[in-house]
Amino acid sequence: MTQFLQQIVNGLSIGSIYALIALGYTMVYGIIKLINFAHGDIYMVGAFVGFICISTFKMSVLSAILCAMVFCALLGVAVERLAYKPLRNPTKAGLFATALVMGFILIYLVAKATLELDNLWAGVIALVLSLALGFFVYFTITPKGNPNRIAALITAIGVSFFLEYAMMAIMGPNNRSYPATLGGTATLAGVQITFAQILIFIITLALMLILTFIVQKTKIGRAMRAVSTDADAAALMGVNVDRTISITFAIGSSLAGAAGVLVGIYYNTLNPLMGMTYGLKAFIAAVFGGIGIIPGAMLGGFAIGITETMVAGYWSSLFKDAIVYIILIVILILKPSGLLGKNVREKV
């Protein structure tokens, strides 16, 4: 029994982190029907911002979380404005600029990392290739009113690579450790709860309550829900759709930023590729609960966290990922729209 409760506590901790990241996936999907592959990397950036705040600037944990949230919110909005918005209202010039800038940075970083070139040569190669890419895009893609989902998805993957390589370039590819900030453990009926876990519960709960309040009770939350059901109709109400989408990115990304710092405190270790594993789990959590549905992401996050720790605790941690996937597949077969998803029946 004690072991069971212990696994629940551990599962809820890691599940909190999955849930916070999953919320960003689900909110962005809800509003622009894009699976934002770069979201896991925003979370990674949040972990690094927290790391720098705590280790270099000696900030308290709470102010580090706040800093990471603000930084990630701005980063999320920048990604949306620079990479996704030009695809939503495409103009040829916008596509050219996006391909040029994204292409340059990406090719530069890859060239430096793989070919071991110096800055100058990597820059020259990147410039030539990205110009070629820009013109290729300019002459082959004709912007239509209808945004192309696949183009947006590929762009998201590009942004994801970009954030990972950029972080490697800045911080180096190795693991880093958070300085130990929150030692200490409380024991409750034989179950051990670390102070870090308590912090995770409190922060996650607080953020979820604030988010629910914003989405359900405020004017901007109502606008976010309206845009996600019918963006054109919302525009006819005088809603600035682009601004509402930016705010959604800001909120989702700030939650990921908080999750990044929390995971750093919990596991003490971070690296530029951490966004992939956690991002994928959180994405599964979002699908599990019903993508686009906010309570679904919370439920999905906790469910996956608890499943993982249970499998690892009672069986073997080798199987935990496999079991999570199997559960996902079963859910998707039984209820394709996810645990809390409505089976869509379009009203004509």
Partner 1 sequence: MSMLEIKGLSVHYGMIHAVKDLSMQVNAGEIVALIGANGAGKSTLLKTISGLLPKTSGSITTLEQDITHSSPVKIVGLGVIHVPEGRRVFSGLSVLENLQMGAYSKKDKSAIKESLAEVFAHFPILQERLSQDAATLSGGEQQMLAIGRALMAKPKLLLLDEPSMGLAPILVKEIFSIITSIHESGTTVLLVEQNARMALSIADRGYVMETGRLVLQGTGKELAESAQVQKVYLGG
Binding to partner 1 by residue 240, rule CB under 8 A? yes
| Of 30 and 103, CB closest to partner 1 | 30
Interface residue with partner 1, options 63, 209, 230, 315 (CB under 8 A): 230
Give the residue from 275, 276, 285, 339 showing the smallest Cα distance to 307: 285
Does 91 engage in binding with partner 1 (CB under 8 A)?
no
Strand partners, 269: 177
331 binds partner 1 (CB under 8 A): no
- Selected from 1, 56, 120, 144, the binder of partner 1 by CB under 8 A is 144
Between 237 and 322, whose beta carbon lies closer to partner 1? 237
Which residue, 176 or 225, is less far from partner 1 as judged by CB? 225
Residue type, 147: P
Alpha helices in 143-240 (DSSP H): 149-171, 195-217, 219-229, 231-236
Alpha carbons 310 and 12: distance in angstroms, whole number: 11
141 binds partner 1 (CB under 8 A): no
Distance CA 276, CA 307 (A): 20
239 makes contact with partner 1 (CB under 8 A): yes
Nearer Cβ to partner 1, position 120 or 236? 236
60 vs 229, which CB is nearer to partner 1?
A: 229
For the chain, report the end-to-end CA distance as a whole number of angstroms: 53
Residue 182's nearest CA partner among 123, 258, 262, 243 is 262
Q: Which is nearer to partner 1, 91 or 277 (CB)?
A: 91
Interface residue with partner 1, options 94, 222, 323, 339 (CB under 8 A) = 222
Determine if 347 is a binding residue for partner 1 (CB under 8 A).
yes
Give SS3 for 174. Answer: coil
- Report helix, strand or coil for 235: helix
Q: Kindly state the helix (H) or strand (E) to which residue 236 belongs, with its residue range.
A: helix 231-236
Q: How far apart are CA 258 and CA 255, in angstroms?
A: 5
Rounded CA-CA distance 52/245 in Å is 29
**233 scored as a contact of partner 1 (CB under 8 A):** yes
Shortest Å distance, C-beta 226 to partner 1: 5
Return the residue of 145, 150, 174, 316 that touches partner 1, per CB under 8 A: 145
Contact call for residue 214 and partner 1 (CB under 8 A): no
What is the spatial distance between Cα 257 and Cα 190, in angstroms, rounded to a whole number? 33
Q: Cβ closer to partner 1: 88 or 225?
A: 225
225 binds partner 1 (CB under 8 A): yes
For partner 1, which is the closer residue by CB, 60 or 240? 240
Beta-strand pair 191-194/185-188: antiparallel
The least distance separating partner 1 from the CB of residue 253, rounded to whole angstroms, comes to: 23
| Spatial separation of the C-alpha atoms in residues 338 and 348, rounded to whole Å | 23
CA distance 281 to 290: 14
Shortest Cβ distance from residue 141 to partner 1 (Å)? 14
Residues binding partner 1 (CB under 8 A):
144-145, 219, 222-223, 225-226, 229-230, 232-240, 347
